[in-house]
Amino acid sequence: MSDPLTQELDGILSTETLTPLFQPIVAADDQSIYGYEALIRGPSDSPLHSPLTLFDTAHRAGRLVELDLLCRRLSIEAFSTLALSGHLFLNVMPTSLLEDDFREGLTSRFLAGVELSPKRVVIELTEYMPIHDYALMRQAVAHYREMGFRVALDDLGAGYSSLRHWTELRPDFVKVDRHFVQELDRDPGKRQFLGHLLDVSQSLGCQLIAEGIETAGEQHSLQDLNCRLLQGYHFARPSQEPPRHLHTSPPGTTPLRSSTGALGTNAAMLCRHLDPVLTGTLVPDVLQRFKHEPGLRCLVVLDRQQIPLGLVHQQDLLGQFANPFSHALYARRPIDELMNTRMLVADAALPLDILSERITGAPESLQEDFVIVDDTGRYRGMGNIIDLLREITALQVRSARQANPLTGLPGNLVINQTIAARLEKSEAFIAVYCDLDNFKAYNDVYGYAQGDQVILAVARLLQERCREEDFVGHVGGDDFMLILGGDLTAAQHLCETILDRFARFVPRFYHDEHRQAGGLNVTSRRGENVFFPLMSLSMALHPVGTDTEFNALDIANVLAELKHQAKQKPGNSLFVDRRHHDHTARLAERDVEPMIARAARR
């Protein structure tokens, strides 16, 4: 007679009551979603809900390949139904490749049934059992590549002979075991090891995927190592309805304003998932968990709706059981009676600078660990003050490196990232390029120190006039960039205000004789005397709609062209791109031209 788990497995296979979940794989450069890994869960009320128990039971029952093929078909169908973009990473056991699927082309038939191209599918070899026949496995892998599939090797550094698998099978992707990713930002040895793996992968023409990322520190360390593909709870948990776009901001993409000190990042960056405790859990069960996980400082207690109720600290709980009578006293009592309901709860979207202020203002007992929730108040994970301090420090260092050394404004890297982030979110916005005219002549006559004062004055003017939500960047030299909201009328009015203010203060940087003459004479390299009018400011305005197909480079090219047009006008000028948003641009034109004329006369 079969055991209860085998009977449960029989029912699951016959009714196909398995649930595919999908976790995004993220492109590190722009945080777009490269693809999704398909994962399987058993029925939520079943002892085979966990995939480990599910597959172990199937292995003992001799039905592993049958289960594997069913998981594959259900994942393909769900991926198609959800209309997910990018690549589908399918977990496949090598044994099933060598049996029915290899001989009968079942995966191709599954894909054909939903009209999904094999070119979008990556066969991810999961090492549940060792590979004995490498020659046959190489033949199977070659067979799949011929049909358009690509191949990934899962959990490099764990299991059986994964390094040999890499050299024998030459996969297109290799996933690094989460052990080498966890606390990477704190472990120089792991960073060195991963650096070597990335070098090897590049020489073999293979892409490395780092999985198990849970913190922003781990993400940043991997990006510093130039690891291009990332996966983990830090971005999204496996879900039946996975995100199409990421909600966490990539480092540096949110506008940084040195005048306000806003860090532009949020508590989600610190979120480290820690399995919670449900209300009603018995005290001895929680005590056992602390004993089996010595590094665990605290646990969060949730209600049935995943709302945090309180925290249980290891030190406090173990202290309760220093008394020999406590075991008998709490043997059948729920942990709710011992949890601390005083805790710091932070929304995942809370900016780090505000979170820091709240923590420093909280009682000392609440400052070490805090709970992170989503916008509905449901539990997402835990944060720690050490991680917060480390992230704030890293952001400040990164911001300083990317900022212009003279003005402290974000430089080209952050400008491009900010534009890319707006485009990724399909937000309408207006890009404005600002360039000083006749600055070089001024610099030659008055010297670099005085020229720097002019640039600083322009930077202050732009920051003072722009709103908190606007972005002010310093391209370099006498060139600046504004990223404004999508209202063309408001953006035009702001530019007019800036030009009017600039026209009023710029004469103060000249001596009386040059002010009265309206400019200065400079001897050219040919010995000719050339007259240069007082400095003016040219602004080129380009509206970007929600349906644009441009990327950041395209927008930069458009602005370069518009800047040239703006500089054709004498004096302070604003040139509005009229090729897009025709109706609003024509409305703006009637006001812009008279303003240009007025500014030129000043």
Task: List, for residues 392-425, the tens digit of each pLDDT value.
Answer: 777 766 666 667 888 889 888 888 888 888 888 8
CATH of the domain at 216: 3.20.20.450
Question: Residue 515: pLDDT above 80?
Answer: yes
Q: Clarify whether residues 324 and 458 are in a common domain.
A: no
Lowest-confidence pick of 27-31, 79-83, 246-250, 487-491: 246-250
In a domain, 245, yes or no: no
DSSP code string of 281-293: -BHHHHHHHHHH-
Rounded to whole angstroms, how far apart are CA atoms 265 and 248? Answer: 8
SS (H, E, C) 2-68: CCHHHHHHHHHHHHCCCEEEEEEEEECCCCCEEEEEEEEECCCCCCCCCHHHHHHHHHHCCCHHHHH
Two structure tokens written together for 544:
């970007």
3-state secondary structure of 472: strand
Question: Residue 155: pLDDT above 80?
Answer: no
Q: Clarify whether residues 312 and 218 are in a common domain.
A: no
End-to-end CA distance of the chain: 98
The pLDDT of residue 537 is 95
| Average pLDDT value over all residues in the chain | 82
Kind and range of the H or E run holding 303: none
Residue of higher predicted confidence among 133 and 583: 133
SS3 content of the chain, % helix, strand, coil (to 5): 45, 20, 35
Q: Clarify whether residues 383 and 417 are in a common domain.
A: no
Q: At what angle do helices 134-146 and 162-169 cross, to 10 degrees?
A: 50
The pLDDT of residue 225 is 85
The pLDDT of residue 513 is 93
Lowest-confidence pick of 102-116, 284-298, 356-370, 538-552: 356-370
Q: Clarify whether residues 286 and 179 are in a common domain.
A: no
Q: Clarify whether residues 365 and 419 are in a common domain.
A: no
Rounded to whole angstroms, how far apart are CA atoms 537 and 570? Answer: 10
Residue of higher predicted confidence among 171 and 592: 171
In a domain, 252, yes or no: no
127 and 162 Cβ atoms separated by less than 8 Å:
yes
**How would residue 150 be classed by pLDDT, with cut points 50, 70 and 90?**
very high
The pLDDT of residue 599 is 36
Rounded to whole angstroms, how far apart are CA atoms 534 and 523? Answer: 16
What pairs with residue 26 in β-bridges?
Answer: 33, 230
Rounded to whole angstroms, how far apart are CA atoms 245 and 90? Answer: 21
CATH of the domain at 361: 3.10.580.10
Of 179, 212, 230, which marks where a domain is finished? 230
In a domain, 102, yes or no: yes
The pLDDT of residue 597 is 35
Rounded to whole angstroms, how far apart are CA atoms 585 and 592? Answer: 10
Of 369, 392, 415, which marks where a domain is finished? 392
Question: Residue 572: pLDDT above 90?
Answer: yes
Q: Clarify whether residues 375 and 434 are in a common domain.
A: no
**How would residue 259 be classed by pLDDT, with cut points 50, 70 and 90?**
very low
Q: Clarify whether residues 476 and 539 are in a common domain.
A: yes
What pairs with residue 575 in β-bridges?
Answer: 540
The pLDDT of residue 408 is 86
Question: Residue 350: pLDDT above 90?
Answer: no
Q: Clarify whether residues 556 and 472 are in a common domain.
A: yes
Q: Which long-range contacts (CB under 8 A, 24 or more apart) does 140-149 make?
A: 140/94, 140/97, 140/98, 140/102, 141/97, 141/169, 141/171, 143/102, 144/97, 144/107, 147/105, 147/108, 147/118, 148/117, 148/118, 148/119, 148/121, 149/107, 149/118, 149/119, 149/121, 149/122, 149/123
The pLDDT of residue 400 is 65
The pLDDT of residue 127 is 62
Provide the 8-state DSSP code for 486.
S
In a domain, 236, yes or no: no
Task: List, for residues 522-550, the tens digit of each pLDDT value.
Answer: 887 777 889 999 999 999 999 998 888 88
Rounded to whole angstroms, how far apart are CA atoms 206 and 253? Answer: 28
Q: Clarify whether residues 83 and 19 are in a common domain.
A: yes
* Structural domain span for residue 217: 4-230
Q: Clarify whether residues 174 and 152 are in a common domain.
A: yes
CATH of the domain at 589: 3.30.70.270
Q: Clarify whether residues 358 and 458 are in a common domain.
A: no
pTM: 0.48
Lowest-confidence pick of 29-33, 567-571, 580-584: 580-584
Question: Residue 129: pLDDT above 70?
Answer: no
Q: Clarify whether residues 386 and 498 are in a common domain.
A: no
Question: Residue 590: pLDDT above 50?
Answer: no
Number of domains present in the structure of the chain: 3
In a domain, 38, yes or no: yes
Residue of higher predicted confidence among 390 and 260: 390
In a domain, 118, yes or no: yes
| Pick from 182, 263, 227: nearest CA to 34 | 227
DSSP code string of 155-195: EETSSSSHHHHHHHH--SEEEEPGGGTTTGGG-HHHHHHHH
